[in-house]
Amino acid sequence: MDFGEATVQEKHGYTCGQYEPLDVTQLPPLYVAYSINESEPTEVVHNDLRSRYEQGDPDVIAAMQRFAQITVAAKAALAEGDIAGFGQLIDENFDLRRSICNVASGQERMVRVAREAGATAKFAGSGGAIIGTLPNEGTFDRLVEKLGPLDCRVIRPEFVPSLAQSHVE
């Protein structure tokens, strides 16, 4: 998703960015873990960021520019089959987010524990769920074992290429 000023446009009364589908066959093994107790509405985090960005906060502006670079680099890593590099970018995404946002301790713990289990980890949204890569089969089992006591469930998403590649205009 690209929300740069040059790509944003109005569609059906909504402000939309430019969206590019990914080739799901290039994705490494992924997991999603979610807490049954840790979540917060997106506006809790994002309202403050928008305000800080609009006020010219240099840390937020630099982070947003880096998020855009991470996205481009992640897409390139997938295309090149650089799974380790893709995983490092996932971790960097969370670390960068944490540098400009207050992250709830329970949500930060989920990321820390997932990384200790050998996975990469970042938020899958605004909180309460994380996503990352699985470098090997044993990592998934360790995630289930270590995140379970935190009241987290861990799943492996499955992608159907023919369905995932379609999109609505």
For residue 55, the model assigns a pLDDT of: 95
Question: What domains, with CATH codes, occur in the chain?
Answer: 9-164 (3.30.70.890)
pLDDT tens-digit profile of 10-59? 989 988 888 888 888 899 999 999 998 866 555 554 558 888 999 999 99
pLDDT tens-digit profile of 80-114? 999 999 999 999 999 999 999 988 888 899 999 99
CA distances from 149 to 37, 38, 145 (A): 12, 13, 8
Residue 143 has pLDDT above 90, yes or no: yes
pLDDT tier at 167 (50, 70, 90 boundaries)? low
pLDDT tens-digit profile of 50-87? 889 999 999 999 999 999 999 999 999 999 999 999 99
For residue 30, the model assigns a pLDDT of: 96
